Structure 1
Amino acid sequence: MTKKRILAGGIAQESHSFNPVLTDRARFNIQSGQAAIASARGTNSLLGGILDTAEQADIEVLVPTLFRAQSGGPVEDVVFAEMRDILCDAAKRGDFDAIVLPLHGGMLTPTLEDPEGELMALLRAIVGPGLPMTVAFDLHAHVTPRILKTCDFLAGYLTNPHGDQGSTGRRACRAALDILGGQLRPVLSAVHVPMLTLGHDRTDEEPLMGLQARARAAVESGLAYDVSIFNAQQFLDVHGLGNWVLAYGNGSDGGRDRLALELAQSLWDQRHALIGTYPSLDECLDRAERGTKRPLILGDQGDRVAGGGPGDSTYVLRALLDRPGLPAAVVPLTDPASVAACHAAGNGSQVTLDVGGCYSTMAPPTTITGKVIGLGTEAHVTYDGPADAGYKAKLGAYAVVEVGKVRVLLTDQPYSYLDPDYFRAMGIDPAKMGVVITRSGYHFTLNFAATGECITVDTPGMTSYQVHELPFTVARPFFPLDEPDFVPVLAEHPSRMV
């Protein structure tokens, strides 16, 4: 008997419509074939979960290519086209029984506002309507009707901060195997909600904790095969922006329609509660000056690379330099020119640099004078986890400049610093700092929990949750910029016509 095969791969990146810096090929970790499989096996990643489920079922996984990058500006069209062509060429060979795609779902290119849907539609045209295609997305994906109509099943993360990447990949793969085996005929109940969640959207806190519990109970009771609640990337100026509730059943309805409608209505009813507030930077630095038992790990939510920001805001750096009474601190900045200047000067040199503020215009460039204490042309990170535990990433050139008690970590590319090993890879132990700045809002909290006290800080910038400061046009109307009339309605879907 011929061994069954699954085709996996694709591209994963979260885009920010208002970040003018396009994400180029150099920003991507690109792997294929056995190298991609070996790198993902045993990790808490989407592909890791797919591999885990497939290998338990003695099914081979083919990975023609997998592009993965941190959040940023839209992805260059040529990069998307390269990945698309590789995956479509592999699909044309037809030596597989199902497709399972580990994607993100929140990506843009300059010409495409739904590139994942474009990829899926091209693959569907190649393989035809009968071959199972399932997909795994981030909870912050931009879900579109084309995506829902093209794939047989879409699974989203159930946690925020995200700790269930692997189990999401397993859900997507299990659905494909169940379709192949005849145990699943997926029928979708889907509802779009024209709103954003802004800052109070952790799934381990109310109100989303309760909504996710209701969804989980429906799956456990057999009311639904799978339920995902997508809260959407908040910085996409695209048509149809908003939250989605997806409830998949196996064949006939049995109350699943009502579940999707009720969850969507609950989301809308609690929309005001999903707008969060954060402590000020000054409050947190006051605490640091008084002394804390553990390092303060602060998320600069106004310039979150994890949310697509450029990572060059000097707002926090300026505050740290103005407070000589602070303990040792480290703050990262994206600044390729300053990295090059430090490399030219050499390790141990005194340098004066104008750093940051190129794209984050709410905080201007800042002049620093200090000693170069670390240099490298590349660095290698392995995530501690639990989020993406075991995932490996290669970083580009960097320099560390010591300015008093502040270590300014300069890189030639933006990074989110979601894991402590980003700092260790560039020669800084975050556990020995008094204040550590990450380019994340709250995703960093899972992996830094063992290192220090994690706090998201209210800072200005491109990824601030003050969305009224951003020039949205295409995406409107949506709450909180608007108050559209909303009554939950089931989206049309081919599976409901069967």
Structure 2
Amino acid sequence: MTLPRIALIHFHLESNRAAPITDRADFAAQRLVIGEAFAADVAKVPPVVSAGTRGFMDSLGAFEPVPVFAAFAGAGGMMDGGFLKELLQVVRDRLPADVDGVYLDAHGACIATDDEDPDGTMITLIRDIIGPDTPLVTTLDLHAHVSPAMIAGADFIAAYRTNPHVDQYDRGVEAAGAMQRLLTGARTGRALVRLPFIPPSTTLDTTRGPYGEMMQDAVARATGAIWNVSLCAGFSVGDSAKAGVNVTVTADDAVQALATAREIGQRFWNARQAFQIRLTALEDAITLMGDHATPRIYGDVADNPGGGGRGNTLAILQAMLAADVTNALFGMLFDPALAHEAAAQGEGAVFRAAFNRDETYAESGKLTAEVEVLQVTQGPVACRRGLYAGGQQDLGLCALLRCKGVLIIVASIRRQLCEPAFVERFGLDIGDFNTVVVKSRGHFRAGFDEYFPPAQVVEIDGPGLTSPELSRIAFAKTPRPIHPIDAGVMWHAEDSGDVAGVVAAPDNG
């Protein structure tokens, strides 16, 4: 029996327009494998692939994989247009026109220096190569900005349902089920409804609150003729030309899909006032750190590397040192120069450390302080919780420093601290600390919930490129007017929507 040949592509970048440009080197530092190199990773047991791709491969059944490329850079600035063109050429060169199907594991909120919709451009190119009848399924991040080009080109779209994200594997499984149906001749209609609404990032917890309620209702509608409902809040600080909450529905028929998308969109819009941020002022957070009766974890949400933050603002650390906070852990600070200096000094060394010596962004700040090098590590970390569970992450060269009563993890690869193994690799017990400060927006909740339940989580109002206070973001490309940035925004679902795919003929009987 001839096995179906299914192409695999992984394309993942969440773009924050205010952050430094993400180029080829940034992808290479995290994950960039093309052609034969990707094929070698796919062939390993278990395969070295994204969680979504692993779920897809595990569930599809017997098939012949056709690996094209995997390019992952997490979150950063706009993608270098030249490198986007390179990846598009890889698709032209390595995607056979006669494959039986394509699975695209994407993020959906990428911006390039010369393209406002790289995900749509990628999907359109794939469709042009494989033709109108070959199935193309894709999974997206919950923060995706879905475009008409994306629903026109993809037969099936499934976005994450959880935030913090813990269902990437499950969405790959769902995409495999859709692929199986499409391979047997089923066809879909798709609809997209976008709202002029940017919910602040800290209001998007799907385990509780208004977004959790909206998500639960949306997912429950995916039954019968409705294949999937994806309720994407978008990337609040990305400043995308596609910004805004978006509802994408895949169904037997585009008319059904549009009706469902409009109903969900209208319910979300009606609940918009419930999405209110509640941040803790820095001085109040410092006071809480002095309470040794209740351990707490503090999210430095405005400097989240997982949203394109620089990962090196020092305002919170400086306040902790000035207040003589003790029994505290702070991480991860992205400062390659300091990490390498600490390694050169060696474990046990005490020296005057210049934090952010090479940084030019004013809000990052500068600090010179005496530190002791406790440990230096390098290489990948096996992850066990939340966003990265079951995989590996490379933090590059890392140093654990002691400065007064605070232990500081300094890394040479920019990544949010949302995985307990990043701390445990130093032989530390997270439960021993009274205060843990993490540069992360929300994924730390799933990583550290075994130590800190919701009542012991504090989100600090600090400086950075990922602030939930949207009034601080210099929006340039975001469509206006848009709530809550602009007052008096009006919107009605029945006036909105794009459709693609199958549109059933009206019943005139």
What is the TM-score when the length of structure 1 is the normalising length?
0.91
Residue pairs, 1:433-452, within 5 angstroms: 433-452=433-452
Aligned to 1:337: 337
Q: CA deviation at 1:318?
A: 0.7
Aligned to 2:382: 382
Secondary structure of 1:264's aligned partner:
helix
Residue pairs, 1:187-226, within 5 angstroms: 187-198=189-200, 199-220=202-223, 222=224, 224-226=226-228
Q: CA deviation at 1:290?
A: 2.1
Q: CA deviation at 1:77?
A: 3.3
Secondary structure of 1:8's aligned partner:
strand
Does residue 1:493 correspond to 2:499, yes or no? Answer: yes
The verdict on how the C-alpha distance between 1:448 and 1:200 changes in structure 2, with shifts beyond 3 A counting, is same
Check the 8 A contact 1:347/1:372 in 2, yes or no. yes
Give 5+ residue unaligned stretches, structure 1: none
What amino acid does structure 2 have at the position aligned with 1:368? A
Deviates more, 1:36-45 or 1:1-10: 36-45
What amino acid does structure 1 have at the position aligned with 2:139? A
Q: Summarize deviations over 1:397-439 as a string: whole Å, max 9, x none.
A: 2222211221222222211112111223355443333322222
Aligned to 2:507: none
Q: Separation in 2 of the partners of 1:124 and 1:271?
A: 36
Secondary structure of 1:66's aligned partner:
strand
Q: Separation in 2 of the partners of 1:252 and 1:371?
A: 62
Q: Separation in 2 of the partners of 1:84 and 1:491?
A: 28
Q: Separation in 1 of the partners of 2:196 and 2:103?
A: 28
Check the 8 A contact 1:305/1:440 in 2, yes or no. yes
Q: Separation in 2 of the partners of 1:423 and 1:30?
A: 26
Residue pairs, 1:55-134, within 5 angstroms: 57-91=61-95, 93-94=96-97, 96-134=99-137
Check the 8 A contact 1:298/1:438 in 2, yes or no. yes
Secondary structure of 1:331's aligned partner:
strand
Q: Separation in 1 of the partners of 2:7 and 2:483?
A: 38
Q: Separation in 2 of the partners of 1:381 and 1:334?
A: 17
Aligned to 1:484: 489
Aligned to 1:456: 459
Q: CA deviation at 1:322?
A: 1.5
Does residue 1:148 correspond to 2:154, yes or no? Answer: no
What is the TM-score when the length of structure 2 is the normalising length?
0.90
The verdict on how the C-alpha distance between 1:490 and 1:153 changes in structure 2, with shifts beyond 3 A counting, is farther
Check the 8 A contact 1:354/1:368 in 2, yes or no. yes
The verdict on how the C-alpha distance between 1:241 and 1:225 changes in structure 2, with shifts beyond 3 A counting, is same
Q: Summarize deviations over 1:219-266 as a string: whole Å, max 9, x none.
A: 24x25221110110112223231111112211374x543322121111
Check the 8 A contact 1:16/1:235 in 2, yes or no. yes
Q: Separation in 1 of the partners of 2:78 and 2:386?
A: 28
Aligned to 1:418: 418
Q: Separation in 2 of the partners of 1:39 and 1:201?
A: 36
What amino acid does structure 2 have at the position aligned with 1:266? R
Q: Summarize deviations over 1:256-298 as a string: whole Å, max 9, x none.
A: 43322121111111122113212334434433322145x4222
Secondary structure of 1:245's aligned partner:
strand
Q: CA deviation at 1:381?
A: 1.6
Q: Separation in 2 of the partners of 1:273 and 1:37?
A: 47
Q: CA deviation at 1:353?
A: 2.1
Secondary structure of 1:85's aligned partner:
helix
Aligned to 1:241: 243
Aligned to 2:168: 165
Check the 8 A contact 1:160/1:202 in 2, yes or no. yes
Q: Separation in 2 of the partners of 1:95 and 1:157?
A: 30
Task: Give percent identity, aligned residues only.
Answer: 24
Q: Summarize deviations over 1:86-120 as a string: whole Å, max 9, x none.
A: 333221x3453100111111122222221111111
Check the 8 A contact 1:165/1:388 in 2, yes or no. no
Deviates more, 1:194-203 or 1:361-370: 361-370
Q: Separation in 2 of the partners of 1:159 and 1:289?
A: 33
Aligned to 2:232: 230
Residue pairs, 1:43-58, within 5 angstroms: 45-54=51-60, 57-58=61-62
Secondary structure of 2:123's aligned partner:
helix
Q: CA deviation at 1:309?
A: 0.4
Secondary structure of 2:351's aligned partner:
strand
Secondary structure of 2:226's aligned partner:
coil
What amino acid does structure 2 have at the position aligned with 1:80? L
Q: Separation in 2 of the partners of 1:404 and 1:497?
A: 66
The verdict on how the C-alpha distance between 1:313 and 1:76 changes in structure 2, with shifts beyond 3 A counting, is same
Q: Separation in 2 of the partners of 1:108 and 1:37?
A: 31
Aligned to 1:176: 179
Aligned to 1:371: 372
Check the 8 A contact 2:305/2:439 in 1, yes or no. yes
Aligned to 2:258: 257
Q: Separation in 2 of the partners of 1:492 and 1:325?
A: 54
The verdict on how the C-alpha distance between 1:90 and 1:21 changes in structure 2, with shifts beyond 3 A counting, is closer
Deviates more, 1:367-376 or 1:323-332: 323-332
What amino acid does structure 2 have at the position aligned with 1:275? Q
Deviates more, 1:482-491 or 1:363-372: 482-491
Secondary structure of 1:313's aligned partner:
coil
Secondary structure of 1:64's aligned partner:
strand
Check the 8 A contact 2:331/2:408 in 1, yes or no. yes
Secondary structure of 1:100's aligned partner:
strand
The verdict on how the C-alpha distance between 1:472 and 1:28 changes in structure 2, with shifts beyond 3 A counting, is same
Check the 8 A contact 1:139/1:159 in 2, yes or no. yes
Aligned to 2:351: 351
| Number of matched pairs | 490
Secondary structure of 1:71's aligned partner:
strand
Q: Separation in 1 of the partners of 2:254 and 2:27?
A: 45
What amino acid does structure 2 have at the position aligned with 1:383? C
Q: Separation in 2 of the partners of 1:81 and 1:428?
A: 44
Q: Separation in 2 of the partners of 1:74 and 1:19?
A: 7
Deviates more, 1:350-359 or 1:432-441: 350-359
Check the 8 A contact 2:298/2:435 in 1, yes or no. yes
Report the aligned-residue RMSD: 2.4
Q: Separation in 2 of the partners of 1:360 and 1:175?
A: 46
Does residue 1:474 correspond to 2:480, yes or no? Answer: no
Q: Separation in 2 of the partners of 1:300 and 1:186?
A: 42
Q: CA deviation at 1:375?
A: 2.1
Q: Summarize deviations over 1:42-70 as a string: whole Å, max 9, x none.
A: 9982112111212xx22233323212222
What amino acid does structure 1 have at the position aligned with 2:492? V
Check the 8 A contact 2:151/2:500 in 1, yes or no. no
Residue pairs, 1:425-436, within 5 angstroms: 425=425, 428-436=428-436
Q: Summarize deviations over 1:185-215 as a string: whole Å, max 9, x none.
A: 2112321111111121211223222222222
